[in-house]
Amino acid sequence: MKRTKIHVLRQLENSPGQVLVKGWVRTRRDSKEFSFMEINDGSCLKNIQVIAGQDLENYVQIQAVSTGSAVSVEGLLVASPGKGQKWEIQAQRVEIINLAPDSYPLQKKRHSDEFLRTIAHLRPRTNKYGAIFRIRSEMAFAIHQFYNKKGFRYLTTPVITGSDCEGAGEMFRVTSLSPEAVKKSGIMDFKADFFGQESNLTVSGQLSAEMFAMALGDVYTFGPTFRAENSNTSRHAAEFWMLEPEMAFCDLQQNMDQAEELVKALSVHALENCEEDMDLFLQFVDKSLPDRLNTIIHQPFARLSYTDAIEILQTSKKEFEFKVGFGIDLQSEHERFLAEDYFKKPVFLTDYPKTIKPFYMRVNEDDKTVAAMDLLVPGIGELIGGSQREERLDVLEKRMDEMNLPKESYWWYLDSRRFGSVPHSGFGMGFERFLMLISGIKNIRDVIPFPRTVGSIDF
């Protein structure tokens, strides 16, 4: 007999009679004549109740089945008299696939997120983590669907790279040189290294995406990204996923329109396609989540310049740890004040000082600011960073000189400005930060299956 997944079973209008389910026992209790088991197979949040009667030949063994054990159950699917469940299974055969010992760490009680992080290999078996990782899966699919419908082409960009897109130098080196050889010669001889030059894990696929936007028009890349930032915060991971659309013939305003449409559409998708899992977060994890999602979906995001934002921060009565003035890189406390307290909704800040932004952003007429945009959201701070790109070869070269970037190694990037250069724009959205936004989960470590952060690479 073919196994039916519990999420399919639960949606059946009529009972097919006989069914076979396989899963793990969440709880079991005995009455006088029956043993009741709650089985979960990971296909959805809810369990299916199995009722095993004394007539079963292995009833004694069934009575010893513990939380976490794996079972296979064949029986009749019947209407359940119990509350909140349409169906239950009257078992005809229960096979115990594996009996979990009492030392199984996930006994039925509430566990803290901190504790569950220490057993990241087991935590997807809990309701909350099962739910967020099902949502994560669905949202990755939703991203592809969103761009596919719009006619964007999906591009995979290299994980190993020779350039530093963001120019921040916070990169993980990739080398095949042995530590002994380096020690012996006293230097890292990149010429002798695998690629014959210094190479790193990518911090962004943008530069590659720009080349493809100049060929295919609208493209996006969505993949793993690495940053050796020494920031041990609840919003930074050393390995995270970034979505980066890049659009030819697109200016900063259209770029923001695109980003806003994306965030709204993905939020709607989560509510409509992950209803049961999202309910767990809406009801139990973050009480302010329903309002926040409602605002994101139904209200236009605020848009203002960095300069105006600085003025709002300076004239606010709020005491900030980091002093505010034109030219500062906004800290999380500033970003959150703007999104949470002042505008109470997502806000785009535009036209940042060029001194705090990377070389590729388009220089504005004032020659002081660049056509940058960051999207700041309540509860998190920066969700998206993007810009219109500098399409003018002479201006771009001047910028690179100012920033002491080796133009020779960007020859291919500069070629795109030599041959058929057009205005274009794009942005990057941290996938994990988006998941935090729609789930109310406060720590990035809890939306990544096996998180990598400063000082932590377990599992």
Report the residue number, 62 or 330, with the smaller CB distance to ligand 4AD. 330
Residues 385-414, one symbol each (x = binds Mg ion by CB under 5 A, - = not), give x-----------------------------
Q: Which does 433 bind (CB under 5 to 8 A by kind): Mg ion, ligand 4AD, none?
A: ligand 4AD
- Nearer to ligand 4AD by C-beta: 51 or 207? 207
Q: What is the 3-state secondary structure (H, E, C) of 31-47?
A: CCCEEEEEEECCCCCCC
The least CB distance from residue 242 to ligand 4AD, in Å, is 5
By CB under 6 A, residue 433 contacts ligand 4AD: yes
75 versus 386: smaller Cβ distance to Mg ion = 386
- The one segment of 13-21, 97-105, 304-312, 422-430 that binds ligand 4AD by CB under 6 A: 422-430
Least CB distance from residue 272 to Mg ion, whole Å? 30
Which residues ranging from 214 to 233 are in contact with ligand 4AD (CB under 6 A)? Answer: 227, 229
Distance CA 170, CA 238 (A): 10
Listed in sequence order, the residues at least 6 apart from 284 whose beta carbon sits closer than 8 Å to its beta carbon are none
68 touching Mg ion, by CB under 5 A: no
Question: 184, 363 in Cβ contact below 8 A?
Answer: no
Rule CB under 6 A: is residue 381 a binding residue for ligand 4AD? Answer: no
Applying CB under 6 A, does 384 fall inside the site for ligand 4AD? Answer: yes
Give the CA-trace dihedral at 70, 76, 77, 78, to 10 degrees. -130
User: Measured from the CB atom, is 205 or 385 closer to Mg ion?
Assistant: 385
Please give the residue whose beta carbon sits closest to ligand 4AD in the complex.
385
Closest C-alpha among 300, 221, 265, 299 to residue 438: 265
Alpha-carbon torsion, ordered 92, 93, 98, 104, to 10 deg = 10
Site for ligand 4AD in 185-204 (CB under 6 A): 204
For residue 236, state whether it binds ligand 4AD (rule: CB under 6 A): yes
Complex with Mg ion: residue 69 or 206, whichever CB lies closer: 206
Joined together, the tokens standing for residue 354 give 């060029």
Q: How far apart are CA 152 and CA 405, in angstroms?
A: 31
d(CA 275, CA 174): 42
Span between the terminal Cα atoms of the chain, in Å: 36
Sequence-distant (≥ 6) Cβ neighbours of residue 158 within 8 angstroms: 202, 205, 208
Tokens of 441: 């989960």
Please state, as a whole number, how many other Cβ atoms lie within 10 Å of the Cβ of residue 213.
Answer: 28
Cβ(359)–Cβ(210) under 8 Å? no
Smallest distance from the beta carbon of 430 to ligand 4AD, in angstroms?
3
Element (H, E) at 258: helix 252-273
Q: Which positions from 144 through 183 interact with ligand 4AD, judged by CB under 6 A?
A: 165-166
Q: What is the DSSP letter of 440?
A: -
130 touches ligand 4AD (CB under 6 A)? no
69 contributes a contact to ligand 4AD by CB under 6 A: no
Nearest to 281 by CA among 132, 65, 104: 132
| Residue closer to ligand 4AD (CB basis): 69 or 200 | 200
* 199/196 Cα distance (integer angstroms): 9
Tell me if 379 contacts ligand 4AD by CB under 6 A.
no
DSSP E strands in 8-83: the ranges are 18-30, 34-40, 48-53, 70-79
Applying CB under 6 A, which part among 50-58, 145-153, 380-388, 390-398 lies near ligand 4AD?
380-388
Per partner kind, with CB cut-offs from 5 to 8 A, the member of ligand 4AD, Mg ion, none near residue 427 is ligand 4AD
Distance in Å, CB of 433 to ligand 4AD, minimum: 4
List the x/- string, 242-281, binding to ligand 4AD by CB under 6 A. Answer: x-x-------------------------------------
Answer yes or no whether residue 432 interacts with ligand 4AD by CB under 6 A. yes
Q: Out of ligand 4AD, Mg ion, none, which partner does residue 236 contact, by CB within 5 to 8 A per kind?
A: ligand 4AD
CA-CA distances (angstroms) from residue 370 to 210, 250, 302, 357? 18, 16, 19, 8
Residue 442 binds to ligand 4AD (criterion: CB under 6 A): no
Nearest position to Mg ion, beta carbon: 385
Q: Which residues pair with 94 in a beta bridge?
A: 73
Kindly state the smallest distance separating residue 168's Cβ from ligand 4AD, in Å: 8
Residues that bind Mg ion (CB under 5 A): 385
Residues that bind ligand 4AD (CB under 6 A): 165-166, 204, 206, 227, 229, 236-237, 240, 242, 244, 382-387, 426-430, 432-433, 444
